[in-house]
Structure 1
Amino acid sequence: MRRFVIFGILMLASVCVFGQGLFTVFDTVHIGEVVSYGSLQKYQSGAKIEQISTRQFEQSKDGNLEQLLSRTLPIAFKADAGGLATIRIRGSAPDHTSINFGGININSLTLGQTNVSNVPLYLFDNVSVQFGSASSVNGSGSIGGAIHLGIQNKWTDGFRGEARVSHGSFGEQLYGTKLFFGNGKFESGTRFYYYAKKNNFPFMNPNYRDFENQIFEIKDRQQNANVENYGLLQELNYRFNRDEYFTFNIWLEKDWHLIQQNMQTNLSSPEMREDLTDDHIRALAAYKNRKKPFKFEISGGYVYDNSVNNHNTADTIQTQRIIGEAFAEHDFRKNASYKVGAKATRIYPTVYAYSASLDHEDRIDFYASYYQRFFQKLTATVNLRQGFVTGFDVPFTPALGLSYLAFSKEKYVLSISGNISRSYRVPTFNDRFWVPGGDPDLKPEKGMSYELGAKWSYCTAGVSGNIQVNAFWMDVDNWLLWKNGGAFWYAENVQKVESKGIELMTDWHYQILGLSFESGLNYSYNPAERVESINETNALNRQLEYVPLHSGNIYTTANLHSFDFTIDGRYSDSMYTDEEVKNVLDPYFLLNATVGYKLKINDQNKLRISGMVRNLLDTAYQTSWGYAMPGINYRISVTYNFK
């Protein structure tokens, strides 16, 4: 497995050729701007950024973002069986992580978060995750981290395509196609998928009560939890020359699911049926000029989000965004550069429960970044960001990062990094304008983050790999919650939260008896506690809800010619689910196995067949209190690539 990790602009790249023992270290790694919307940025020294490996991404393309990240990184999720999942990076809240497609943060402006079950992997080529504060680069809502969904422009000359079919347990199915056409300068890319799942899995329901026979659970089957999503991503790109090009992307998405009822309701009212439909339009056009030493980019976008519950179109929940951004970058010396830019957004909310006086809101961000490398050993970056929101005070968010090449030998290198940054989140439209309960005078949530990391890379003729350790500390003030006021719920800044911990990540490549292996282990120790609260609570100085103290995953892949076999496991510690010392979720371990075969028909046509068994041990577990999860299940997929 290959991981790209930025410790500032001073990054270490190792190239290891088995059998020859070649190991080369470069001062910097340059990632082409065209390659991915989620390209790792050089102005973030000391920030921990992980890109999911190609193999792990390929094995998860039939699923969604939650299914990928929960298996590959030590990140916590609160999820049901497929309709809803929210992310919690380093103990932060779901609305503390921005999810980015190009220059668009796709988080809902009304709720402040994304249902990551509705983010399809098939439409994208890569996913990268930034752990820790990213507000100085990504703006509001990046207190805990940021996720980037990437697509890769290959400037196709001719025609190529892909067709994918996947079927699995409980009515799961995916149909997808990708078609690319171009002449080397112009490229059109069309990506489409359809995903559906009946979700009618069996489970043991513990809510049955037969006191006479002392029976307190019964075999049950999940009802009315169907999922049906489909989307289209269209790309139109034109390259004037190697360093100058125009890109246009539009992502159309329609997500529908029956809201899964908890086990109690599923038993007592199996006919209960409630649905939710989300429609999205996300369009982005950009002109990019990468001619050195002075580079610049101008982009514009439009976002439409609409949510309908139970077909009730009268209760409108809709927002529209118009986005414009421009920045310039200047490499004024060999080892130094700066970047300045501005981003403006006008938002038109149309929500039935908002005040009629709210017509629109304007948001403007100004940002500046500086990069400097000293003596081929030390890299420093500075990021500054100041935002302005109509009728709202936004804090100034600076960030400072350092990375240092401690030593470099023939077989191994060691780098050390650190980062200090401020972060913030503007309260959502619901928080400020929902009637009743919203409060326009709410304070922004403010965070302060500190990070220290070290990475050791090793390579010989038969073994190569990395060991990475990161320690972090983050506090978030003015943490916002909705409180029960009796007559109605209302939003208020109520508490201060501290989250700290250690993350260990490893990946190794080696050969045994002619087999090539890739193995890795990821582990997180994350005490996250509310340390102050104006609410009376029993949960002060106790682990936050839905944040496991210990979590991790482990994997091994074996390759032999055209065959590959992967086994991976995921562990989550016990989790509180409310502020009382009850309804605590048990720890669990999930085991999965995947086998794949690649068939090269000829130079123009390739076929891949893969099968996966999930929850191999048939573990009974929950990640959201009271909601059933499927036991052992399978998925088989066939992918055909052609030119």
Structure 2
Amino acid sequence: MRRFVVIGIVLWALAQNVVAQQPFTVFDTVQVEEVVSYGKLQKYQSGAKIERINARQFSLGQDGNLEQLLSRSLPIAFKTNAGGLATIRIRGSAPDHTSFNFGGININSLTLGHSNVNNVPIYLFDNIGVQFGSASSVNGSGSIGGAIHLGLQNNWTKGFKAEARVANGSFGEQLYGTKLFYGNGKFEGVTRAYYYSKKNDFKFLNPNYRDFENDIFEIEDTQHNANIENMGLLQELNYKFNMDEFFIFNVWLEKDWHLVQQNMQTNLNNPDLKEQYNDDHVRVWTGYKNRKNPFKFEINGGYVYDNAVSNENTSDTISTQRIIGEAFIEHDFSPNASYKAGAKATRIYPSVYAYSKSLDHEDRVDLYASYYQRFFNRLTTTLNLRYGYVTDFDVPFTPSFGLNYLALSTEKYVLRFTGNVARSYRVPTFNDRFWVPGGNPDLDPEKGMNYELGSKWSYCDGTLSGNVKLNAFLMNVDDWILWKNGGAYWYAANVQKVQSKGLELMTDWDYTVFGLKANSGLNYTYTSAQRKESENNTNALNRQLEYVPLHSGNFFTTVAYNKFDFTVDGSYTDEQFTDEEEKNILDAYFLMNVAVGYNWKIDEQNQIRINGIINNVLDTDYQSSWGYAMPGIAYRLSITYKFK
């Protein structure tokens, strides 16, 4: 029934084409007003490394999730299985050290501390911004390793335009989606909806088979009970009073369901085992924005409801509600200087069966200020200050300082150097503090210090243009929280000190070869992340952390010819430890994907885009999480119809 609701929306969108009367070239480049984009972060963060996914890679990722997009386009590590669960590890940090931001909402679970990256659909958003390194001075708790920003862009549509998208692929993969844009230039409504499902019944070689008589120790197996079914709706209602004053209202409803993938041994010995997991989310973000010079201000508010259910056991409640208010003022008091000051308040109501009954709610308040200064059109500096308050909990003061220096500038190339120093923190999760038994309300916050130096060389000469970016980083995290085995039960404790350091190289080029337009990129990261101190009795001191590859990287190339475009991309992941012992080490692996697209312009009002992609074209046998099977070669075909 759920599937047919979304399919119905898609069919309704297609039917609206009969009333189309104005010409509309969907794939033409148009000038878009810079009104709302949650990924616009650079002004008050000089020296911070902030990347935005380019348009071609973003378009290819529309049928998938955030893990699939980021792992192909940026040097970021993930621990994942065949689609049910994926967690992020930026620069060797933990999954709960990266914030995922939708407007002023960090969508990370307040009970678990992190997000399932497989449950973040690309189809609902217009752009993705990624900040590497500490972002706590801007985003607050949970941004020790980095921050992801899910962006929406206002177009202030006049009239009506829409798209419908259908995708089908291997192992029962399906996606149905639609986007509807309607407005009169001042008012704009945008409706985005999708339905995604996958059976995940792929075949793989299972090494847990034992036939000693015939000397057979692996067998072809089929993954059982790893189905996925996700659906979401994102509704925007926006009003523009004038070019500098507008109102936004966004609602994101998400319902995610999957059968928990069993490891290969369980899949072989108990193929009928099923474990269900449901996630329901309601996220509302609204605000009034006034950008009239010299004083600009915003007043925003939000509401979040998160609910998780395992095996349909609704009596074991795991849910939280948040009410958020935020306001700030920004003053450009000279052409080269400005400041920003604001406050953000959140009240949280947890409802978790395993928490103390005395916990009714928690209040969090953040006060922040930012300053921007430009000197002689060559040097920009920024200073950010943030101080937080949490009920019955001490939060550290988090400043950051950054600079961006234009060293050389000619007709063909530009060379910049950047630097950034930032303090960061993470408030322990509700589970860490209040789970009974094992939670510890006296935990200290995790605290980080981030140091970064970078350079960016940009070149442009006729048919060749591009960038080469090199960053070096050092990050120390104290009071890293782990759960320890106390015998009778596990308990949370500030256990270890971790140091992460490394280099990141990123390149992207646009060029013409044999008359064909092409775009290529290469990314590489060296990340040394090690325990320097630990209260646990471990032999893993001064050794690479679990699920953090020492070397990783990826590349991509897209070539356009007439109405066709061809893309090839690949990614390399070094070997990874999976526990604190010198065993169960994941082998290094290389994955390659190829894609082809075709743009069919029917007329000025109607256009069709066809995409075909083959994932893991080399049919690589690999694991991203110890003991869990991953699919081999797979295809996906999608058709997108756009009209006005």
TM-score, normalised relative to structure 1: 0.95
Per-residue deviation, residues 82-110 of structure 1 (Å, max 9, x unmatched) = 00000000000000000000000000000
Question: Contact 1:558 / 1:564 at 8 angstroms: preserved in 2?
Answer: yes
Q: Does 1:177 align with 2:178?
A: yes
Q: Secondary structure at the match of 2:283?
A: strand
Partner of 1:266: 267
Q: Does 1:218 align with 2:228?
A: no
Partner of 1:382: 383
Question: Contact 2:278 / 2:308 at 8 angstroms: preserved in 1?
Answer: yes
Shift, 1:514, TM fit: 1.1
Identity between Structure 1 and Structure 2 (%): 74
Q: Report the AA paired with residue 311 of structure 1.
A: E
Per-residue deviation, residues 221-261 of structure 1 (Å, max 9, x unmatched) = 00000000000000000000000000000000000000000
**Following superposition of structure 1 onto structure 2, how do residues 471-482 of structure 1 map, counting pairs within 5 Å?**
471-482=472-483
**Following superposition of structure 1 onto structure 2, how do residues 175-214 of structure 1 map, counting pairs within 5 Å?**
175-214=176-215
Higher alpha-carbon deviation: 628-637 or 456-465: 456-465
Q: Secondary structure at the match of 2:123?
A: coil
Q: Secondary structure at the match of 1:99?
A: strand
Q: Report the AA paired with residue 470 of structure 1.
A: N
Per-residue deviation, residues 470-499 of structure 1 (Å, max 9, x unmatched) = 000000000000111111110000000000
Alpha-carbon separation, structure 2, partners of 1:168 and 1:309:
28
Partner of 1:243: 244
Per-residue deviation, residues 528-581 of structure 1 (Å, max 9, x unmatched) = 000000111010000000000000001111011211000000000000000000
Partner of 1:73: 74
Partner of 1:442: 443
Q: Secondary structure at the match of 1:526?
A: strand
- Cα RMSD after superposing both structures: 0.9
Shift, 1:501, TM fit: 0.1
Q: Does 1:584 align with 2:585?
A: yes
Alpha-carbon separation, structure 1, partners of 2:92 and 2:536:
20
Alpha-carbon separation, structure 2, partners of 1:499 and 1:32:
40
Question: Contact 2:164 / 2:640 at 8 angstroms: preserved in 1?
Answer: yes
Q: Report the AA paired with residue 198 of structure 1.
A: K
Shift, 1:442, TM fit: 0.1
Q: Does 1:111 align with 2:112?
A: yes
Partner of 1:490: 491
Q: Secondary structure at the match of 1:617?
A: coil
Q: Secondary structure at the match of 1:527?
A: strand
Partner of 1:25: none
Question: Contact 1:38 / 1:102 at 8 angstroms: preserved in 2?
Answer: no
Partner of 1:295: 296
Q: Secondary structure at the match of 2:46?
A: coil
Alpha-carbon separation, structure 2, partners of 1:34 and 1:636:
34
Shift, 1:32, TM fit: 6.2
- Cα separation, partners in 2 of 1:145 and 1:237, compared to 1, 3 Å: same
Alpha-carbon separation, structure 2, partners of 1:603 and 1:55:
22
Per-residue deviation, residues 179-218 of structure 1 (Å, max 9, x unmatched) = 1110000011100000000000000000001111111100
TM-score, normalised relative to structure 2: 0.95
Alpha-carbon separation, structure 2, partners of 1:222 and 1:534:
39
Partner of 2:59: 58
Q: Secondary structure at the match of 2:71?
A: helix
Q: Secondary structure at the match of 2:474?
A: strand
Partner of 1:45: 46
Alpha-carbon separation, structure 2, partners of 1:559 and 1:438:
56
Q: Report the AA paired with residue 413 of structure 1.
A: V
Question: Contact 1:403 / 1:418 at 8 angstroms: preserved in 2?
Answer: yes
Q: Report the AA paired with residue 150 of structure 1.
A: G
Alpha-carbon separation, structure 2, partners of 1:151 and 1:69:
18
Q: Secondary structure at the match of 1:255?
A: strand
Q: Does 1:277 align with 2:304?
A: no
Segments of structure 1 that go 5 or more residues without pairing to the other structure are 1-29
| Number of corresponding residues | 614
Alpha-carbon separation, structure 2, partners of 1:405 and 1:310:
57
Question: Contact 2:33 / 2:154 at 8 angstroms: preserved in 1?
Answer: no
Partner of 2:256: 255
Question: Contact 2:42 / 2:50 at 8 angstroms: preserved in 1?
Answer: no
Shift, 1:33, TM fit: 5.5
Partner of 2:354: 353
Q: Secondary structure at the match of 2:63?
A: coil
Shift, 1:156, TM fit: 0.5
Question: Contact 1:31 / 1:40 at 8 angstroms: preserved in 2?
Answer: no
- Cα separation, partners in 2 of 1:33 and 1:135, compared to 1, 3 Å: farther
Q: Report the AA paired with residue 318 of structure 1.
A: S
Alpha-carbon separation, structure 2, partners of 1:359 and 1:236:
33
Q: Report the AA paired with residue 388 of structure 1.
A: Y
Segments of structure 2 that go 5 or more residues without pairing to the other structure are 1-30
Q: Report the AA paired with residue 643 of structure 2.
A: F
Alpha-carbon separation, structure 1, partners of 2:385 and 2:565:
46
Q: Does 1:426 align with 2:427?
A: yes
Q: Report the AA paired with residue 425 of structure 1.
A: R
Question: Contact 1:301 / 1:323 at 8 angstroms: preserved in 2?
Answer: yes
Q: Secondary structure at the match of 1:189?
A: strand
Alpha-carbon separation, structure 1, partners of 2:144 and 2:584:
28
Partner of 1:8: none
Alpha-carbon separation, structure 1, partners of 2:161 and 2:37:
19
- Cα separation, partners in 2 of 1:40 and 1:545, compared to 1, 3 Å: same
Q: Report the AA paired with residue 452 of structure 2.
A: E
Per-residue deviation, residues 608-632 of structure 1 (Å, max 9, x unmatched) = 0010000000000000000000000
Partner of 1:451: 452
Q: Secondary structure at the match of 1:251?
A: strand
